[in-house]
């Protein structure tokens, strides 16, 4: 009979050759839960040792014969093993230590106590076991003190599969977060992206059409300067003023037209009237210029008209800003 011995607690268990072949020789001790190769620790046990017999004599097996048995099982496992087939362990969860008879029953006959069984070749035993799976069933369970093996999947293999699923979920969440982050960045910096990379403007316009936003020129008041300004009162209508303003864009990118705030002052430099002109006001008849903005390194002259009644103005101030 073939048995395997746990190298950790030295407990021996009955093992069938087709079970070792099915699970690639890997077993787990039911006493100490140690995982080991059952083929490497396999030995042969005589039939007289598996039950309470009149004698405790065992069959002597030569080391060379055991080596042949181990080589035969290992070669069979290598032929049937698939490269990607995970190794599943045989669980010896219900295992108990082997019990051997040390006393001779009183009713045993004298001729039986003196005799021993003839040595059996382990190579023949393993070959017959591989050819006929019913060999392991021929030994009655109630007559053997070695428990049968219970096959179970190793816990660490389940943990490995669970870890792969968790990693896949985390990767999907990471990719989703990255896409959302890129979309938010494109929304916030859409005008800067369109100015620095004009080729991206069509894509950004499509993106904004879904989010109901628009692409406009940059708004950098520090790069726009008032090059010249002139305030004049109408000859026929003294309460109507005309302001001529020249704006210059000192940047290498187009800028949005700013709002202009005009203050009228008296002789004591006190403000007597104030007016704010939005870009939609002074460019109402030029919508194409409003969309293009103040071109890079370019100047633009504006003419603003303003009616201020009951005001005696002697000076003015002009400021630009973005609302």
pLDDT digits (tens, 9 = 90+) for 2-54: 788 888 888 887 777 776 776 667 777 878 888 888 777 777 776 655 433 33
Q: Determine the structural domain holding residue 180 and report its residue range.
A: 157-215
Backbone angles phi, psi at 273, to 5 degrees: -160, 150
| Residues 257 and 316 both lie in one domain | yes
| Residues 307 and 233 both lie in one domain | yes
Which residues lie closer than 8 Å to 292 by C-beta, 6 or more apart?
217, 254
281 belongs to a structural domain: yes
- Tell me which of 198, 215, 232 is where a domain ends: 215
pLDDT of residue 249: 96
Q: What pLDDT digit, counting tens, does each position of 205-222 carry?
A: 888 988 888 888 999 999
151 belongs to a structural domain: no
Residues 167 and 175: beta-carbon distance below 8 Å? no
111 belongs to a structural domain: no
In angstroms, the CA 42 to CA 34 distance is 15
In angstroms, the CA 88 to CA 27 distance is 9
Q: How far is CA 23 from the centre of its chain?
A: 32
Query: pLDDT grade, residue 144 (50/70/90)?
Result: very low
pTM (2 d.p.): 0.46
* SS3 call for 12: strand
226: β partners = 247
Backbone angles phi, psi at 33, to 5 degrees: 65, 25
Pairing of the two strands 26-28 and 90-91: parallel
In angstroms, the CA 301 to CA 113 distance is 127
Q: How far is CA 1 from the centre of its chain?
A: 50
283 belongs to a structural domain: yes
* SS3 call for 243: strand
More confident call, 9 vs 118: 9
| Residues 6 and 23 both lie in one domain | yes
State the number of CA atoms in the 13 A half-sphere of 216 facing the CB.
12
| Residues 268 and 315 both lie in one domain | yes
**CA nearest to 247, candidates 321, 166, 155:** 321
| Residues 230 and 199 both lie in one domain | no
The domain tally of the chain equals 3
- Tell me which of 12, 27, 44 is where a domain ends: 44
| Residues 229 and 197 both lie in one domain | no
**CA nearest to 73, candidates 115, 27, 116:** 27
243 belongs to a structural domain: yes
Q: What pLDDT digit, counting tens, does each position of 267-276 carry?
A: 888 988 899 9
CATH code for position 280: 2.60.40
Query: pLDDT grade, residue 259 (50/70/90)?
Result: very high
| Residues 230 and 271 both lie in one domain | yes
Q: Order of strands across the sheet with 35-37?
A: 35-37, 26-28, 90-91, 150-151
| Residues 195 and 242 both lie in one domain | no
| Residues 189 and 270 both lie in one domain | no
In angstroms, the CA 269 to CA 86 distance is 91
> What is the torsion angle, in degrees rounded to the nearest 10, for the CA atoms of residue 162, residue 168, residue 171 and residue 176?
-120
Q: Is the pLDDT of residue 108 over 80?
A: no
268 belongs to a structural domain: yes
**Percentage of residues of the chain with pLDDT beyond 90:** 25
H helix intervals, the chain? 17-22, 63-80, 110-114, 122-131, 155-188, 190-196, 201-211, 279-282, 287-292
**CA nearest to 34, candidates 157, 154, 144:** 154
Residues 242 and 234: beta-carbon distance below 8 Å? yes
Which residues lie closer than 8 Å to 317 by C-beta, 6 or more apart?
262, 263, 265
Q: Is the pLDDT of residue 255 over 50?
A: yes
Q: What pLDDT digit, counting tens, does each position of 41-92 carry?
A: 777 776 655 433 333 334 444 555 556 656 666 665 565 554 444 444 445 5
| Residues 180 and 257 both lie in one domain | no
Within 10 angstroms of residue 19's Cβ, the number of other Cβ atoms is 20
105 belongs to a structural domain: no
130 belongs to a structural domain: no
| Residues 207 and 245 both lie in one domain | no
| Residues 235 and 277 both lie in one domain | yes
DSSP 19-45: HHHHTTTEEE-TTT--EEETTTTEEE-
């Amino acid at each position: 009979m073939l048995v395997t011995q746990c190298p950790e607690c030295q407990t021996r268990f009955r093992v069938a050759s087709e079970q070792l072949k099915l699970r690639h020789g890997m077993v787990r001790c039911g006493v100490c839960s140690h995982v080991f190769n059952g083929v490497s620790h396999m030995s042969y046990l005589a039939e007289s040792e598996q039950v309470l017999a009149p004698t405790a004599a065992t069959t002597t097996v030569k080391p060379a014969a055991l080596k042949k048995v181990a080589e035969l099982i290992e070669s069979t496992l290598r032929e049937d093993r698939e490269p990607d087939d995970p190794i599943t362990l045989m669980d010896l969860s219900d295992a108990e230590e082997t019990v051997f008879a040390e006393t001779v029953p009183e009713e045993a006959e004298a001729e039986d106590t003196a005799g021993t069984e003839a040595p059996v070749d382990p190579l023949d035993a393993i070959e017959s076991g591989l050819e006929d799976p019913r060999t392991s069933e021929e030994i009655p369970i109630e007559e053997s003190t070695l428990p049968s093996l219970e096959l179970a999947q190793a816990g660490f293999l389940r943990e490995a599969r669970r870890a792969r699923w968790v990693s896949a979920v985390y990767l999907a969440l990471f990719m989703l977060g990255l896409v959302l982050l890129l979309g938010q960045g494109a929304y916030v910096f859409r005008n800067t992206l369109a100015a620095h990379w004009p080729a991206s403007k069509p894509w950004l316009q499509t993106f904004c059409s879904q989010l109901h936003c628009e692409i406009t020129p940059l708004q950098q008041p520090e790069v726009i300067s008032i090059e010249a300004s002139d305030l004049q009162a109408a000859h026929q209508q003294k309460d109507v003023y005309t302001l001529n303003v020249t704006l210059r864009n000192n940047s290498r990118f187009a800028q949005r037209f700013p709002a202009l705030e005009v203050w009228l002052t008296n002789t004591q430099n006190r403000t007597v009237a104030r007016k704010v002109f939005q870009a939609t006001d002074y460019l109402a008849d030029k919508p194409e210029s409003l969309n293009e903005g103040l071109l890079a390194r370019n100047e633009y002259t504006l003419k603003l008209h303003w009616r201020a009644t009951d005001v005696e103005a002697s000076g003015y101030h002009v400021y630009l800003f973005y609302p």
